[in-house]
A = this chain, B = another copy of it.
């Protein structure tokens, strides 16, 4: 059986090579289609091999991973801090299905659409896995005819990207979004989104950061005055977006060679995108000979000025940088855009690691309308926190021994030094669980004392109840403090009360949560 399977895998590989060769040689689509059919038939054969434990590599799918208890503790701790901020601002929680009708996602992501995961057509609807949480939100608002909503949504999204897993980039990853939908006054909800980002980054304590802001209307106006045709605004935008990773020269070349921007226009763009500053820069650009005559650019600049003013009122002006090179990749933004970037490398063990962008978002006023039959708009602005990057920094710190985590909350371990105490242990455990005390015991009938105490030490369990024949005859049990190794004899009948008062003291020490230095 394994032999047949291996043969089949080899045949599939060969056929795949053939198809790629034909495509590379630009053979006729008929011929390619014929060989693709053969390939699919071979793969179908593979799927129908309903054999049990055949030899295959035991792994998670490419670009995905399991979260073990330590990673989940870090994750839950980070998300809890973020949710606290979201709720402090009155956000409600929603959730949507992991897949959507493919049509819902079609035409929303520009060049990135090729990264969408599709489900197999199994005779029902045509479905795709969600690519972000923003398009599902827009679909949700339009479908339920909701005009106002401040919501957060924390869920996994899916992108068939080339994963760089060491830097926290996966094909399956958490997004953590906060959005405000509704027809409101200019920049008021937008400024609150920026404040939310600062509150979150401050509470996570991951070092200094800057919040870059820009405006899509300003970018449009800038492209227009530089001589880019209107139908090339969005694709030029995606190219400008690469400036955080590539030098201007490369971006310029891509603009000219791939996006059809003239060298002169590209050079004019190049002058603008190296500018950044504060509201003084906005004032200066409002005097710029060309931009000041462009309606779109003026609208963007006035917007930035108002946003910066509100940020000052919110006490976060020193965190904000107006940066003309910020473009954001996605098509759907229509107004302010922003991105939080860590400005210092993070120390992990003895090494410095550069993290970069850690949150991003912006205004998208036309997305909900794309789902409404009458094209009714619901203006939206929101932000997405890059929690995967935060997770991967903390995981690296854990691996380097900079932090430690406790993965279980158990306060009391019920142990016995002698044989045949399982039933007595069970009765005591039941009593403690009933009293709400987080309790564990060995699942073995006659565990060794050493193993039981070792389990307590390895798992950071602070207290052990130790049962012994002589004590029980006198109506007593022992409580052992695992750290100090001190043991006290306690009347069996006072056990719950005594443990509760000891745990209360412990809890005060652990108030800072599961992640500890």
Which residues of A does B touch, CB under 8 Å? 37, 40, 43, 46-47, 49-56, 58-62, 64-69, 72-73, 75-76, 87-103, 106-107, 113, 117-122, 124-127, 129, 139-140, 142-144, 151, 156, 158, 160, 172, 180, 182, 184-185, 188-189, 191-192, 195, 199, 310, 313-315, 369-371, 373, 375, 407-410, 422-423, 426-427, 430, 433-434, 436-440, 443-445
Contacts and interface: CB of A to CB of B under 8 A. Distances in A.
Given A50-B107, A69-B92, A87-B409, A97 B375 contact: no
A251 to B, nearest CB: 26
Nearest to A431: B315
A185 B444 contact: yes
22 contacts: A43-B121, A47-B106, A49-B106, A50-B113, A66-B96, A66-B143, A67-B94, A69-B92, A69-B151, A75-B95, A87-B408, A87-B409, A88-B433, A89-B438, A98-B172, A117-B119, A118-B120, A184-B444, A188-B422, A191-B426, A310-B426, A313-B430
Contact of A373 (B55, B98, B189, B191): B55
Contacts of A439: 88-90
B107 A93 contact: no
Which of A90, A142, A410, A423 has the largest number of chain B CB atoms within 10 A? A90
Contacts of A37: 37
Nearest to A93: B72
A98 to B, nearest CB: 6
Which of A55, A88, A144, A184 has the largest number of chain B CB atoms within 10 A? A88
A72 B94 contact: yes
A415 B143 CA distance: 31
A72 B95 contact: yes
Contact of A438 (B40, B87, B93, B445): B87
A184 B92 contact: no
Given A90-B408, A122-B118, A101 B66 contact: no
A115 B229 CA distance: 51
A87 B437 CA distance: 10
Contact of A122 (B53, B64, B117, B180): B117
Given A408-B92, A443-B182, A430 B72 contact: no
Nearest to A158: B98
A445 B121 contact: no
B375 A124 contact: no
Given A47-B102, A107-B52, A440 B89 contact: yes
Contact of A106 (B50, B95, B142, B433): B50
